[in-house]
């Protein structure tokens, strides 16, 4: 009866990078052990096949110790287990491992029976970083048009790719998933007077129509209702009229049926959109492999922004990953800029100094720690152009080089805005006399006077000498 050899391996769950793992290979035989060899499949390709790297070997001819072999049963049962311990596994340890066993046939010492089994070691890596940014930032504030707003959650350093989801004020957001071939960055349609609706254009982009228009401004709706009530009261007082009389009345008094209200009468810091339903949140994500074998995931949440409702709303991006014991998250609070705090350096500017006016911070609400998204800043000079001749300067800091005395008392306006709101603040520049320039000017005048006197004296002497020679 020929000998037999059965080799099996114990499967492993995913192992977190840095942990210790033990590879186990069990074999049963009725023969005598010859050798045990462990291989790791290498990434190197030789002649179209993956190369194998030997990581451990045991030869019974030269070893009498069984430190790497443990008997699970009595020795006469001939059931063994070979183990390989990998302390603090790295990304490079990920891959396929093979356990090869050779025995001598009990009927013939010249005959060797070989068998093998494989184990797949999967090394997983938790995310290294998570952050939330705004697409297309910085962006201006839109007072009369609804605009799409996109939060981007960036997760790096994870293997495999994590699951990403968004919450608003601690509640999971019910999203509308989009196909990965589509972009979630919305393109606004300028068709007025329509409710919010999303459509897909031929280019595969999600687009949304404007939420509101002048026709649905709540202030104008109130006026329209008031006019209708007044008209109904007049009709009830004068009695019913026929349709021809109504047409004539509309022709004679067009202002009673036509509402003409200029947009400029409505002036608010935040627009008041009219929404009949909750906003639709569209979710899109993509992932790409990094050079170190990990994945980078970008998850995008797009919706039609309502500055009045979304201001100071807390949005969080959370990540679930098998290497994490609890979700990893990053939070942002949407906040409009309010009350910019300006600083001027030097505090007492003199003629010829370089003056820097900088936005140091903002007045924040109770739930916001910073203005988010990052606002854009615009500087103008009230009543004229800036010192360098430009009408507008963009940036957090305004620099006025070698200020002249003519700028004394000038007023500068700083406008800070992001998609959630806009605010203005002003500062007045006071320019003092510069004693150094004044002394220098006086010294220059004195030198010119002395030179003039010396020239006059020399001219007089030469004139007298010339007169004496003539006489």
Q: Tokens 């839109």, residue?
A: 142
Residue 441 burial class via C-beta count within 10 angstroms: exposed 0-12, middle 13-18, buried 19 and up: exposed
Higher local confidence (pLDDT), 368 or 65:
368
- Kindly list the distances between the CA atom of residue 8 and the CA atoms of 31, 82, 105, 111, in Å, as whole numbers in the listed order: 17, 11, 19, 22
Predicted pLDDT of residue 122: 95
Helix, strand, coil % in the chain, rounded to nearest 5? 20, 45, 35
**Alpha carbon 248 to chain centroid distance?**
61
Nearest-angstrom CA–CA distance, 203 and 189:
14
Nearest-angstrom CA–CA distance, 359 and 14:
51
With a cut of 90, say whether residue 421 has pLDDT above it. Answer: yes
Alpha helices in 268-390 (DSSP H): 307-310
Kind and range of the H or E run holding 344: strand 341-345
Q: Tokens 């200020």, residue?
A: 403
Kind and range of the H or E run holding 252: helix 243-252
**Alpha carbon 361 to chain centroid distance?**
21
Higher local confidence (pLDDT), 236 or 117:
117
CB 323 within 8 A of CB 123: no
Higher local confidence (pLDDT), 51 or 213:
51
Predicted pLDDT of residue 438: 59
What mean pLDDT is reported for the chain?
76
With a cut of 80, say whether residue 62 has pLDDT above it. Answer: no
Mean pLDDT of 228-234: 50
Nearest-angstrom CA–CA distance, 428 and 408:
8
Residues 6+ positions from 388 with CB-CB distance below 8 Å:
401
Mean pLDDT of 149-155: 97
With a cut of 60, say whether residue 341 has pLDDT above it. Answer: yes
239 torsion bin: left (phi>0), alpha (psi -120 to 50), beta (else):
left
Higher local confidence (pLDDT), 26 or 238:
26
Strand partners, 397: 358
Predicted pLDDT of residue 173: 95
Higher local confidence (pLDDT), 367 or 298:
298
With a cut of 60, say whether residue 324 has pLDDT above it. Answer: yes
Higher local confidence (pLDDT), 450 or 35:
35
Predicted pLDDT of residue 365: 76
Predicted pLDDT of residue 216: 36
Q: How many percent of the chain have pLDDT more than 90?
A: 50
Predicted pLDDT of residue 463: 63
DSSP state of 362: -
Burial call 225-250: b when 16+ CB within 10 Å, e when fewer:
eeeeeeeeeeeeeeeeeeeeeeeeee
- Supply the DSSP string of 385-396, one letter for each residue: --TTS-S-EESS
What tokens were used for 29?
């035989």
Nearest-angstrom CA–CA distance, 265 and 305:
23
Q: What are phi and psi of 183, to 5 degrees?
A: -95, 140
Predicted pLDDT of residue 38: 94
With a cut of 80, say whether residue 219 has pLDDT above it. Answer: no
Nearest-angstrom CA–CA distance, 283 and 303:
9
Predicted pLDDT of residue 261: 33
Stated pTM of the model:
0.67
Kind and range of the H or E run holding 9: strand 5-9
Mean pLDDT of 164-178: 94
Nearest-angstrom CA–CA distance, 275 and 89:
54
Predicted pLDDT of residue 224: 42
CB 123 within 8 A of CB 14: yes
Strand partners, 15: 123
Mean pLDDT of 190-204: 35
Q: How many percent of the chain have pLDDT more than 70?
A: 66
Nearest-angstrom CA–CA distance, 235 and 366:
53
Q: Assign 453 a pLDDT band (cuts: 50, 70, 90).
A: low
pLDDT tens readout for residues 249-271: 444 444 443 333 333 333 334 45
With a cut of 70, say whether residue 169 has pLDDT above it. Answer: yes
Nearest-angstrom CA–CA distance, 150 and 305:
9
CB 33 within 8 A of CB 64: no
* Of residues 186, 187, 193, the one with CA closest to residue 211: 193
With a cut of 70, say whether residue 195 has pLDDT above it. Answer: no
Low-confidence winner among 123-137, 282-296, 317-331, 432-446 (lowest mean pLDDT) = 432-446
Predicted pLDDT of residue 357: 96
Mean pLDDT of 350-361: 93
Predicted pLDDT of residue 215: 36
Give the number of C-alpha atoms closer than 13 A to the C-alpha of residue 436, restricted to the C-beta side.
4
CB 149 within 8 A of CB 302: yes
């Amino acid at each position: 009866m020929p000998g037999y050899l059965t080799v099996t391996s114990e499967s492993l769950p995913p192992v977190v990078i840095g942990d210790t793992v033990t590879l186990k290979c069990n074999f049963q035989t009725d023969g005598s052990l010859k050798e045990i060899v462990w291989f790791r499949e290498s990434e190197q390709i030789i002649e179209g096949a993956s190369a194998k790297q030997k990581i451990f070997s045991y030869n019974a001819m030269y070893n009498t110790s069984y430190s790497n072999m443990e008997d699970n049963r009595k020795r006469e049962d001939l059931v063994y287990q070979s183990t390989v311990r990998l302390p603090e596994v790295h990304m490079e340890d990920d891959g396929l491992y093979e356990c090869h066993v050779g025995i001598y046939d009990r009927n013939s010492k010249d005959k060797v029976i070989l068998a093998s089994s494989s184990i797949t070691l999967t090394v997983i890596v938790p995310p290294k970083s998570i952050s939330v940014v705004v697409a297309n930032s910085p962006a201006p504030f839109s007072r009369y048009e609804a605009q799409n707003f996109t939060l981007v959650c960036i997760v790096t350093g994870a293997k495999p790719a994590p699951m990403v989801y968004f919450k608003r004020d601690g509640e999971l957001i019910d999203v509308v998933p989009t196909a990965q071939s589509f972009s979630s960055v919305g393109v606004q349609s300028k068709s007025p007077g329509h409710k919010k609706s999303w459509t897909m254009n031929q280019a595969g982009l999600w687009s949304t129509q404007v939420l509101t228009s002048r026709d649905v401004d709540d202030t104008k709706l109130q006026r329209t209702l008031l006019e209708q009530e007044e008209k109904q009261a007049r009709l009830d007082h004068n009695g019913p009229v026929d349709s021809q009389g109504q047409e004539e009345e509309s022709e004679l008094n067009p202002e009673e049926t036509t509402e003409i209200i200029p947009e400029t009468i409505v002036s608010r810091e935040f627009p008041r959109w009219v929404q009949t339903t909750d906003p639709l949140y569209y979710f899109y994500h993509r992932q790409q492999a990094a050079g170190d074998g990990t994945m980078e995931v970008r998850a995008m949440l797009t919706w039609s922004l309502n500055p009045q409702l979304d201001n100071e709303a807390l949005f969080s991006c959370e990540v679930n990953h098998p290497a994490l014991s609890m979700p990893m998250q990053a939070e942002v609070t949407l906040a409009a800029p309010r009350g910019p705090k300006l600083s001027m350096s030097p505090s007492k500017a003199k003629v010829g100094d370089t003056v820097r006016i900088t936005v140091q911070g903002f007045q924040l609400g109770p739930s916001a720690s910073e203005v988010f998204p990052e606002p854009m800043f615009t500087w103008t000079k009230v009543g004229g152009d800036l010192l360098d001749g430009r009408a507008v300067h963009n940036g957090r800091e305004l620099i006025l080089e070698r200020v002249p005395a003519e700028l004394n008392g000038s007023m500068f306006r700083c406008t800070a805005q992001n998609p959630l709101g806009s605010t203005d603040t002003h500062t007045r520049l006071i320019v003092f006399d510069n004693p150094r320039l004044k002394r220098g000017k006086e010294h220059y005048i004195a030198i010119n006077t002395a030179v003039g006197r010396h020239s006059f004296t020399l001219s007089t002497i030469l004139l007298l000498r010339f007169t004496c020679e003539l006489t």
